[in-house]
Structure 1
Amino acid sequence: MRIAVIGGGSSYTPELIKGLLDISSDVEIDEVIFYDINEEKQKIVVDFVKRLVKDRFKVLISDSFESAVVDAKYVIFQFRPGGLKGREKDESIPLKYGLIGQETTGVGGFSAALRAFPVVEEYIEIVRKVSSATIINFTNPSGHITEFVRNYLSYEKFIGLCNVPINFIREIAEMFSVNLNDVFLKYYGLNHLSFIEKVYVRGKDVTEKVFENLKLRLSNIPAEDFPTWFYDSVRLLVNPYLRYYLMEKKMFKKITSHELRSREVMKIEEQLLEKYKTAAEIPEELSKRGGSMYSTAAAHLIRDLEKDEGRIHIVNTKNNGSITNLPDDYVLEVPSYVRSGRVHTLSQGEGDLFALSFVHALKMYERLTIEAYLRRSKKLALKALLSHPLGPDVEDAKDLLEEILEVNSEFVKLE
Structure 2
Amino acid sequence: MKIAVIGGGSTYTPELINGILEISKDVKVDQLVLYDIPQAKDKLEILYQFSKRLVADRFELLKTQQIQEAVEGADYVIFQFRVGQLKARQNDEEIPLQYNLIGQETTGMGGFACALRTFPVVEEYVKIVDKYSKATIINFTNPSGHVTEFVLNYLGFERFIGLCNIPINLLKMISQICDCEMKDVFVKYYGLNHLTFLEKVYVKDQEVTQTLMQKMKLQLANIPSQEFPQASLEALGMYPNSYLKYYLMKKTMVEKLKKEGTRAERVRQIESDLLELYRTVNHIPPELSQRGGSMYSTAAANLIRDLALSAGTVHIVNTRNNGAISDVPGDYVLEIPCLVKAGKVFPVSLGKADQFALGMVHLIKMYERLTIEAYLKRSKALAMKAMLLHPLGPGVEDVEGLLQEILEANESFIELK
- Band of TM-score, shorter chain: over 0.9
CA separation in 2, counterparts of 1:361 and 1:227?
24
1:349 to 335, 351, 355: 351
8 Å Cα contact 1:163/1:293 also seen in 2: yes
1:31 match:
31
2:312 match:
310
1:386 match:
388
8 Å Cα contact 1:224/1:250 also seen in 2: no
**C-alpha distance after superposition, 1:347-370 (max 9, x if no partner):** 101000110111000000000000
CA separation in 1, counterparts of 2:282 and 2:368?
43
How far the C-alpha of 1:130 sits from its partner, in A, is: 1.0
CA separation in 2, counterparts of 1:146 and 1:217?
28
2:79 match:
77
1:5 match:
5
1:50 match:
52
CA gap of 1:339–1:214, structure 2 versus 1, over 3 A, is same
Q: TM-score, length-normalised on structure 1?
A: 0.98
Q: TM-score, length-normalised on structure 2?
A: 0.97
8 Å Cα contact 1:224/1:243 also seen in 2: no
The 5 Å alignment of 1:76-225 reads: 76-215=78-217, 222=224, 225=227
Higher mean C-alpha deviation, range 119-128 or range 226-235: 226-235
How far the C-alpha of 1:222 sits from its partner, in A, is: 3.3
**C-alpha distance after superposition, 1:359-402 (max 9, x if no partner):** 00000000000000000000000000000000011110001001
Q: Percent identity?
A: 59
How far the C-alpha of 1:407 sits from its partner, in A, is: 1.2
How far the C-alpha of 1:311 sits from its partner, in A, is: 0.2
How far the C-alpha of 1:277 sits from its partner, in A, is: 0.3
**C-alpha distance after superposition, 1:310-359 (max 9, x if no partner):** 00000000000000000000000000000000000001010001101110
Structure 1 segments of 4+ aligned residues over 6 angstroms from their partners: none
How far the C-alpha of 1:129 sits from its partner, in A, is: 1.1
How far the C-alpha of 1:14 sits from its partner, in A, is: 0.3
8 Å Cα contact 2:189/2:200 also seen in 1: yes
Report the number of matched residues. Answer: 413
1:405 match:
407
CA separation in 1, counterparts of 2:219 and 2:328?
33
How far the C-alpha of 1:128 sits from its partner, in A, is: 1.4
**C-alpha distance after superposition, 1:123-167 (max 9, x if no partner):** 111111111100000000000000000000000010000000011
**C-alpha distance after superposition, 1:69-88 (max 9, x if no partner):** 00000000000000000000
CA separation in 2, counterparts of 1:240 and 1:183?
20
* Equivalent residue letter for 2:17: I
How far the C-alpha of 1:213 sits from its partner, in A, is: 0.8
Find the residue that maps to 1:395 and give its secondary structure: coil
CA separation in 2, counterparts of 1:136 and 1:375?
27
8 Å Cα contact 2:218/2:225 also seen in 1: no
8 Å Cα contact 2:218/2:224 also seen in 1: no
CA separation in 1, counterparts of 2:327 and 2:35?
41
CA separation in 1, counterparts of 2:133 and 2:226?
45
CA separation in 2, counterparts of 1:96 and 1:370?
25
* Equivalent residue letter for 2:336: V
* Equivalent residue letter for 2:152: R
Matched, 1:66 2:68: yes
Segments of 5+ residues of structure 1 without an aligned counterpart are none
CA separation in 1, counterparts of 2:100 and 2:178?
42
Find the residue that maps to 1:257 and give its secondary structure: helix
